[in-house]
Amino acid sequence: MDRLADQCIAIIGCGTIGEAVLAGLLATGQIAPDQLLVTARREERAGELRERYGVRATTNNAEGARAADIAILSVKPQTAHQVLADPALCEALAGKLLISVAAGLRLSQLAKSLPETALIRAMPNTPCVIREGMTVVSPGPKATPDHLAAATAVFRSVGRCVTLEEKHLDAVTGLSGSGPAFACVIVESLADGGVMMGLPRAVATELAAQSVLGAAKLVLESGAHPAALKDNVTTPAGCTIAGLLTMEDGRIRSTLARTIQESTRVASHLGEEED
């Protein structure tokens, strides 16, 4: 986090992910409100953010960029091209670092509008709002090791962060970007099974969610392969193997894998400019 000391950070388009990053940075206690500036389309939204977090807020993207050392482009990919069409914004970002979280918008596309700006793409996900997010960052050719360290520090304030080459980001979007939605379907389905067997809905949902959370933490913190952890609770002639075989009857592995494949395919087109 010391990489962000004395840096002014602007969040351009402070929606769900932007606000999560804003809250995460402030929660570290090492970033002061006066180091942060956010922009929003509506003055009402800017006012809400100003009052809630004590940060500077404006509806003028170029104004925010001019005041910043680091800017985070946190807009939907469908509107990113329109935002970057503002010459004043592009001029204000020259010589600075821009971190884009616009899914599908490639570094080469960003560079066309921002030829003098150091660029890093980032793909966070919605659990960032509870600081349990997963973010992958990919640096552009002008990004220095210090730029990459700063971007990593930003997203470690809201969860885990790793670096990959940009060629992997569509798959990252399909897996970890969309993954929380897929995981919620799994939690809901497990809870439905509990309800079918007589559990109250609220209890079944809590049991299912905590079981998935605990299993995920086991994978991350133990470093063991998921198959090994599965085998640890699969005793001969037990209930777990009976349930696992039922899952296999439903081709759950190939269904989930194909889910990521299809999500990745769609992600690869998100940054295309509409005619």
Q: In this predicted structure, what is the pLDDT of residue 213?
A: 97
Task: Say whether both 210 and 96 belong to one domain.
Answer: no
* Domain membership flag for residue 171: no
Task: Say whether both 160 and 262 belong to one domain.
Answer: no
Task: Say whether both 130 and 215 belong to one domain.
Answer: no
Task: Say whether both 33 and 84 belong to one domain.
Answer: yes
* Domain membership flag for residue 77: yes
* Domain membership flag for residue 169: no
Q: How many CA atoms lie within 13 A of 118 on its CB side?
A: 16
* Domain membership flag for residue 110: yes
What is the CATH classification number for the domain harbouring 67?
A: 3.40.50.720
Q: What is the pTM of this model?
A: 0.92
Task: Say whether both 66 and 193 belong to one domain.
Answer: no
Q: Show the domain range for 101.
A: 2-164
Domain boundary residue, one of 105, 129, 164: 164
* Domain membership flag for residue 273: no
Domain boundary residue, one of 143, 164, 185: 164
Domain boundary residue, one of 131, 164, 197: 164
* Domain membership flag for residue 95: yes
Structural domains in the chain (count): 2
Task: Say whether both 202 and 160 belong to one domain.
Answer: no
* Domain membership flag for residue 272: no
Task: Say whether both 74 and 139 belong to one domain.
Answer: yes
Q: How many CB atoms lie within 10 A of CB 56?
A: 20
What is the C-alpha separation between 158 and 125, in angstroms, rounded? 10
Query: pLDDT 10s per residue in the chain (275 long)?
Result: 667 888 999 999 998 999 999 999 999 988 999 999 999 999 999 999 999 999 999 999 999 999 999 999 999 888 888 899 999 999 999 999 999 999 889 999 999 999 999 999 999 999 999 999 999 999 999 999 999 999 999 999 999 999 999 999 999 999 999 999 999 999 999 999 999 999 999 999 999 999 999 999 999 999 999 999 999 999 999 999 999 999 999 999 999 999 999 999 999 888 776 54
* Domain membership flag for residue 33: yes
What is the CATH classification number for the domain harbouring 220?
A: 1.10.3730.10
